[in-house]
């Protein structure tokens, strides 16, 4: 079993990744993002995302109903269905699902963020949260009958409401349940870089034991990504490959040893 996370950056060669997957003998599950597409759609609709600043100074996207609507359009609608279409064109019998469908990815909604507003401290609660479990019987039902799940956000919370979450966290709960041999994470870089300004500085191998140290070395999205990778090992991952999603054969090259292999 392989889990492939297709990042939501605009530079990812989705068609190439699917072409590679079609040639594999292993079973696999796809998890995909649509970041760039969502931001473009929100902008085109004149509904830019709002950012909350917590009382402690941390910023986060404010996932109100409007943002969830846009996510449903970009992730579960356009991107998911075009990926499913490509899959069928390459002979992969794909079924596209948001976490809501058959409650396939279940999460817990965040309690809220403490913010200062108009001189007062208030708790603002949005539709965001963390995935906690997957509906494994449903995934097995699909996989055992020859259907390949293509998963994306939003997911469903304990009150059956749609919530936003990180696809990297979806991969984590999926791994906890499916125990894939290999998790491939396709990003817009050639792998984990020793120097983020230098694309030739890819580190070919990172022992899982060094992940915490590597996390200290980076910041922003990459730091979050490395934390997500570290958690994968807590859930029994044996091999995680961070690989370039922009090249002609993103998956085939990753499996052939390009990118950063963590084990």
Structure tokens at 255: 């499996």
Q: How far is the CB of 120 from a second copy (least distance, A)?
A: 32
* 197 near a second copy (CB under 8 A): no
Residue 132 Cα distances to 104, 157, 196, 234, 255, angstroms = 11, 9, 32, 14, 29
> Which residue of 3, 156, 186, 229 would you call a contact of a second copy, by CB under 8 A?
156
Residue that is written with structure tokens 């396939």 in the block: 104
Which of the ranges 10-18, 159-167, 173-181, 211-219 carries the binding residues for a second copy, by CB under 8 A?
159-167
* 49 near a second copy (CB under 8 A): no
* 94 near a second copy (CB under 8 A): yes
Integer Rg of the chain from CA: 18
* 84 near a second copy (CB under 8 A): yes
Q: Scan residues 135-154 and list those touching a second copy (CB under 8 A).
A: 138, 141, 145, 147, 154
> Which residue of 13, 63, 98, 182 would you call a contact of a second copy, by CB under 8 A?
98
Q: How far is the CB of 139 from a second copy (least distance, A)?
A: 12
List the beta strands (DSSP E) in the chain: 2-6, 28-32, 50-53, 59-62, 94-98, 105-109, 113-117, 120-124, 129-134, 148-152, 155-156, 162-163, 182-187, 205-206, 239-244, 260-262
Q: How many binding residues for a second copy (CB under 8 A)?
A: 39
Which of the ranges 39-47, 173-181, 236-244, 247-255 carries the binding residues for a second copy, by CB under 8 A?
39-47
Sequence-ordered alpha helix ranges (H) in 35-187 = 35-44, 65-71, 80-89, 136-144, 167-178
* 74 near a second copy (CB under 8 A): yes
Nearer to a second copy, 20 or 157 (CB): 157
Q: How far is the CB of 262 from a second copy (least distance, A)?
A: 33
Residue that is written with structure tokens 């899959």 in the block: 87
Residue 133 Cα distances to 170, 171, 229, angstroms = 9, 11, 17
* 125 near a second copy (CB under 8 A): no
Strand 162-163 with 129-134, pairing = unpaired
Whether the Cβ atoms of residue 18 and residue 92 lie closer than 8 Å to each other: yes
Q: How far is the CB of 85 from a second copy (least distance, A)?
A: 5
Q: How far is the CB of 156 from a second copy (least distance, A)?
A: 6
Binding residues (CB under 8 A) for a second copy: these are 41, 44-46, 69, 72-78, 80-82, 84-85, 88-89, 93-98, 100-103, 138, 141, 145, 147, 154, 156, 159-162
């Amino acid at each position: 079993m392989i889990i492939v996370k297709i990042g939501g950056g605009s530079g990812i060669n989705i068609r190439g990744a699917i072409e590679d997957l079609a040639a594999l003998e292993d079973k696999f599950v796809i998890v995909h993002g649509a970041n760039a597409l969502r931001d473009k759609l929100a902008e085109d609709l004149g509904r830019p995302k709002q950012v909350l600043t917590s009382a402690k100074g941390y910023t986060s996207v404010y996932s109100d109903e409007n943002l969830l609507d846009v996510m449903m359009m970009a992730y579960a609608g356009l991107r998911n269905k075009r990926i499913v279409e490509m899959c069928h064109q390459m002979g992969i019998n794909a079924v596209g699902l948001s976490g809501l469908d058959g409650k396939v990815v279940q999460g817990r909604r965040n309690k809220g963020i403490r913010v200062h507003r108009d001189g007062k401290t208030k708790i603002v609660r949005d539709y965001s949260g963390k995935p906690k479990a997957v509906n494994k019987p449903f995934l097995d039902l699909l996989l055992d009958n020859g259907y390949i799940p293509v998963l994306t956000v939003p997911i469903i919370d304990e009150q059956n409401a749609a919530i936003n979450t990180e696809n990297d966290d979806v991969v984590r709960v999926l791994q906890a349940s499916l125990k894939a041999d290999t998790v491939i994470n396709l990003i817009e870089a050639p792998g984990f870089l020793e120097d983020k300004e230098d694309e030739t500085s890819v580190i070919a191998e990172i022992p899982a034991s060094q992940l915490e140290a590597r996390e200290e070395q980076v910041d922003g999205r990459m730091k979050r990504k490395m934390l997500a990778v570290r958690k994968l090992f807590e859930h029994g991952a044996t091999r995680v490959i961070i690989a370039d999603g922009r090249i002609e054969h993103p998956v085939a090259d990753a499996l052939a040893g390009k990118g950063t292999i963590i084990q």
